[in-house]
Amino acid sequence: MCLLFAMWFFSGVVMMYVGYPELTVEEQYAGRSEINPALVTISPEGLNEITQAGPTTNSLVLTNIASRPVYLLNQYGFSWRAMYADSGEWVAEISPQHAVESARIFYRNQHTNEPIAVHFQQTLEMDQWTISSSLSAHRPLHLIAIGDTADTHLYVSSRTGQVVLDTTRKERVWNWLGSNLHWIYPLQLRKYSGVWVNTIIVLSLIGLVSVFTGAVIGLTRLRLRHPYRGKNITPYRGIAKYHHILGLVSLIFLTTFMFSGLMSMGPWGIFDSGTSFTQQINRYQTPQDSSRSAAVFSTANEIRRLLEQKANQQTKQITWHRLGGESYIAMHDSQDDVRTTSSMTRALGLEQQIKNNVAQLIPTSEILVRQRLNEYDAYYYSHHDQFRPLPVLRVKFADPASTWFHIDIATGQVIGRVTSRNRVQRWIYSGLHSLDFSVLINNRPFWDIVVISLCGLGLAFSITSVVGAWVRIRKKG
């Protein structure tokens, strides 16, 4: 446990600046090509038939993959389906050659002039950087090496041709000193999710026991009123003395750090909700007492006209979604530039339509508050490179779980929900473990200084443990 504590504090500092590899929203938009209206000759009719008859659609999207426009359909509980918008051909499987071309264009959109030498490496189900379950619908994945100065690797979906993950040499190296250590994340363990979760829970519990027993000994051996000989408050000498003092000074931090690490795993389902988020989204998109309207702008001519109207814009994605059974589209130029429209003529704006329909999320419960957020707060914020759109509508319900929903006002789509248990977990984990307090994260580098100082204190204490243990073992052995 001495070594594990030292590892956790050191790797925690690394994670502050190099996170686990992911394709951020900003990187996604930067890598996509602008949709060429002239190439959109096929309507999403085949996909619309699936959405009308099938389960609720999570996403129906028109975007560019490589140099071709493609319709992408994702439904809850199903894999992605893709159809080329220039030919109507269904995408059955992306070959390594197509994956190389998709990766090359994606990277070239991000880096216009950098010399590259793109080549295919392998097709794989999972490796150290593709453990996330969010990639399961895209497996197997094609690994493409870009050959740039950052030694970038791109992972391309074999189902749709999308670039779904990027890593650089810097991320791969530093993550072996950061996330992979901190989360005990080797592929051989992590691919067995249940075993990994239980391993972290058991180690966290052992860590708490070691902190508790050390605290008992440290407090009982401390003398403030009646010092030991030589006016010492501790009976120990050498490294043991530093261990005693540092342990007592950092006791509260050590306890909250270990406890919050345990709570991050949601052990024994204590933060699980008893209601289905998917069912709530289903009711919001299409209430039980309404029918689904025909998809708006669903012909090739309508889509081309929409794209051509935005002469000064670079539309990189069109998303179809529903609100109260009616169809809307959102045109995305970037993560911050989204325009939503419907073919329906309305006296009310989109925001008012959202407010009128949010009761369908939990129709059996009263709405307590409808609150527009133009700025981040303690429960809805962006930190650690996590993109959260603004403004949003927060809706609070009086249901037993005290559920809050956050809805993107620009599109009408539900971003997420938090129950009373989630809010407790937010403070126990993000608060106590990552120190995500507004007064800190909104005033960087104040947050950096506090976190590094505490981790440095914990690391120094852990080193005294390791050194003291090693000296004792050598004497015994």
Q: Are residues 152 and 29 both part of a single domain?
A: yes
| Length of the chain in terms of residues written | 477
**Residue 29: CB partners within 8 Å, gap ≥ 6?**
316, 317, 332, 333, 334, 335
Q: What is the 3-state secondary structure (H, E, C) of 96-123?
A: HHHHHHHHHHHHHHHCCCCCCCCEEEEE
CB atoms inside a 10 Å sphere around CB 33: 18
pLDDT, tens digit only, all 477 positions of the chain:
999 999 999 999 999 999 999 999 999 999 999 999 999 998 887 676 665 555 555 678 999 998 899 999 877 666 778 889 998 888 888 999 999 999 999 999 999 888 999 999 999 999 999 999 889 889 999 999 999 999 999 999 998 999 999 999 999 999 999 999 999 999 999 999 999 999 999 999 999 999 999 999 999 999 888 888 878 899 999 999 999 999 999 999 999 999 999 999 999 989 988 888 988 988 888 887 666 667 778 888 988 888 887 655 688 999 888 888 888 888 888 777 787 877 554 545 788 889 888 999 999 999 999 999 999 999 999 887 788 999 999 999 999 999 999 999 988 999 999 999 999 999 999 999 999 999 999 998 999 999 999 999 999 999 999 999 998 888 877
CA distance 456 to 344: 59
Between vectors from CA 210 to CA 4 and to CA 202, what angle results, nearest 5°? 65
Kindly state the tokens that stand for 260.
């919050």
Q: Are residues 169 and 283 both part of a single domain?
A: no
Q: Which of 338, 321, 340, 407 is nearest to 367 (CA)?
A: 407
Q: Is 249 in contact with 457 (CB distance < 8 Å)?
A: yes
Kindly state the tokens that stand for 436.
């995500």
CA distance 141 to 53: 30
Pick the last residue of a domain from 140, 161, 177.
177
Residue with tokens 């289903």: 282
Pick the last residue of a domain from 162, 177, 192.
177
Burial readout 84-122 (b: 16 or more C-beta within 10 A, e: otherwise) = bbbeeeebeebebebbbbbbbbbbbbebeeeebebebee
Q: Are residues 25 and 157 both part of a single domain?
A: yes
**Cis omega (within 30 of 0) on the bond before 21?**
no
* Residues of the domain holding 331: 277-418
Residue with tokens 């931090």: 253
HSE, CB side, 13 Å, CA atoms: give it for residue 418.
14
How far lies 67's CA from each of 1, 41, 62, 103, 412, in Å?
53, 15, 13, 11, 30
Q: Are residues 173 and 286 both part of a single domain?
A: no
**Cis omega (within 30 of 0) on the bond before 287?**
no
How many independent structural domains does the chain possess?
A: 2
Q: Which of 195, 155, 157 is nearest to 172 (CA)?
A: 155
Kindly state the tokens that stand for 195.
């075993």
Residue 15 lies in a domain: no
How far lies 259's CA from each of 91, 254, 267, 310, in Å?
47, 9, 11, 52
Q: Is 393 in contact with 413 (CB distance < 8 Å)?
A: no
**Residue 445: CB partners within 8 Å, gap ≥ 6?**
none
Q: Crossing angle of helices 446-476/239-249, nearest 10°?
A: 140
63 bridge partner residues: 70, 317
Residue 460 lies in a domain: no
Residue 407 lies in a domain: yes
Residue 206 lies in a domain: no
Q: Are residues 170 and 289 both part of a single domain?
A: no
Residue 150 lies in a domain: yes
Q: Are residues 409 and 292 both part of a single domain?
A: yes
Kindly state the tokens that stand for 367.
């709405």
CA distance 237 to 59: 65
Q: Is 130 in contact with 165 (CB distance < 8 Å)?
A: yes
Residue with tokens 């984990």: 429
Residue 345 has a pLDDT of: 47
Asked whether the whole model's pTM tops 0.85, one would answer: yes
Q: Are residues 281 and 171 both part of a single domain?
A: no
Q: Which of 160, 193, 161 is nearest to 79 (CA)?
A: 160
72 bridge partner residues: 61, 82
Give backbone dihedrals phi and psi of 397, rounded to 5 degrees, phi first. -105, 160
Q: Are residues 288 and 403 both part of a single domain?
A: yes
Residue 398 lies in a domain: yes
CB atoms inside a 10 Å sphere around CB 218: 18
Residue with tokens 């814009």: 313
Kindly state the tokens that stand for 162.
């999308």
Q: Are residues 158 and 283 both part of a single domain?
A: no
Sign of CA dihedral 241, 242, 244, 248: positive
Kindly state the tokens that stand for 299.
């012909």
Q: Crossing angle of helices 251-263/239-249, nearest 10°?
A: 60
Q: Are residues 25 and 165 both part of a single domain?
A: yes
Q: Are residues 288 and 397 both part of a single domain?
A: yes
Indicate the SS3 state at residue 80. coil
Residue type, 174: W
Q: Are strands 163-167 and 317-323 parallel, antiparallel or unpaired?
A: unpaired
Residue 428 lies in a domain: no
Q: Are residues 143 and 288 both part of a single domain?
A: no
Pick the last residue of a domain from 418, 449, 465.
418
Residue with tokens 């000759």: 41
Residue 351 has a pLDDT of: 85
Residue 208 lies in a domain: no
